[in-house]
Structure 1
């Protein structure tokens, strides 16, 4: 039997009780038979500063890059703030995207999920994340966009309970797993 997939999860929200973190944790638990997911706390990263991104970058940056290198793929779950990506998530992507064109994100499969209390589910943040990850040369999972609207009504006790949203999201995980399996087969 092939080994389990190794995933790194990033939540775009630092808030205690975050909907994004609840979605990430629920999805990670739902695929635990097939994938081991670790979550990296992006709140530990300093603000991106090219002057600090030299031969000896900050330790938390080294850790983020190491973890990305070691996994098969990333799952990014983000809220939408003011029609866009939360600054803390963009900061993490900026740190991970270095060195340019040779970062640990290059060729790495990335599944993007957005959620919002609004009915739109974070579609603007989804679009910005797709554009940002395109610049990193990562492999965005080819599946319909996973956006979870009215998320506050779909989270109970820190878990995503909406069956339709859960099943749709898990369909995107299947595309992620297929992408990773294809990469493994080619190497």
Structure 2
């Protein structure tokens, strides 16, 4: 049986981001049946511009992201929380992934099995950011995993100095989320 291809996207550009470290933990603690690839081109995505949103006019970086999401069996998004919501760079990427004005290529995120998680230093982790992201995905019509929710609060306590996820409860939740994503993919 072939492993399902997952494109993992961190909403943080920061080098030592706990959200990016969560995606590395997803690779390490993968319960099986998933091939998780971490997308590293978020910094290259230009601001969304409807005037440029056609296959011929989009930047190479945008066309590449759209292609990779389209070809993936599922998407895994780790989001930090900025001002009670998701980072602008993540929202911008989602804007590029949620359109098909030419009606010729399809919307990459439409009905795409998607899982959300996030880590933050505060007592609420990324609860509000994940709620905002879930609302965006309702409009985009992504097929989002509902449970379990992975809100890594006080994230500095959950990773060691090398950036490895060491909290057993978080590892268990992460594996549950990946398992639920696999079930969604298999149902398609």
Could you tell me how far 1:169 is from its partner in structure 2?
Answer: 1.6
Specify the alignment match of 1:159 in structure 2. Answer: 164
Could you tell me how far 1:34 is from its partner in structure 2?
Answer: 2.2
Specify the alignment match of 1:92 in structure 2. Answer: 93
TM-score normalized with structure 1 length: 0.93
- After superposition, what is the alpha-carbon deviation per residue over 1:101-142, rounded to whole angstroms, capped at 9, x for unaligned? 941111100000021101111100010000111111110013
- After superposition, what is the alpha-carbon deviation per residue over 1:157-181, rounded to whole angstroms, capped at 9, x for unaligned? 1211111011012111111111111
Specify the alignment match of 2:186 in structure 1. Answer: 181
Q: Distance in 1 between matches of 2:84 and 2:71?
A: 32
Of residues 149, 152, 159, the one that matches 2:153 is 149
Specify the alignment match of 1:125 in structure 2. Answer: 129
> How many residue pairs get matched?
182
Q: Could you tell me which runs of 5 or more consecutive residues in structure 2 were left unpaired when the two chains were aligned.
A: none
Q: CA RMSD in A?
A: 1.4
- Spell out structure 1 runs of 4+ moving beyond 4 A: none
Q: Distance in 2 between matches of 1:55 and 1:31?
A: 34
Q: Distance in 2 between matches of 1:103 and 1:138?
A: 10
Q: Distance in 1 between matches of 2:187 and 2:89?
A: 32
Specify the alignment match of 1:37 in structure 2. Answer: 36
Shift in CA distance, 32/62, structure 1 to aligned 2, threshold 3 Å: farther
Specify the alignment match of 2:12 in structure 1. Answer: 13
Q: Distance in 2 between matches of 1:154 and 1:169?
A: 13
Secondary structure in 2 matching 1:160: coil
Answer whether contact 2:10 2:20 (CA < 8 A) is retained. Answer: yes
Q: Distance in 1 between matches of 2:11 and 2:156?
A: 16
TM-score normalized with structure 2 length: 0.92
Answer whether contact 2:31 2:175 (CA < 8 A) is retained. Answer: no
Secondary structure in 1 matching 2:146: coil
Q: Distance in 2 between matches of 1:111 and 1:160?
A: 18
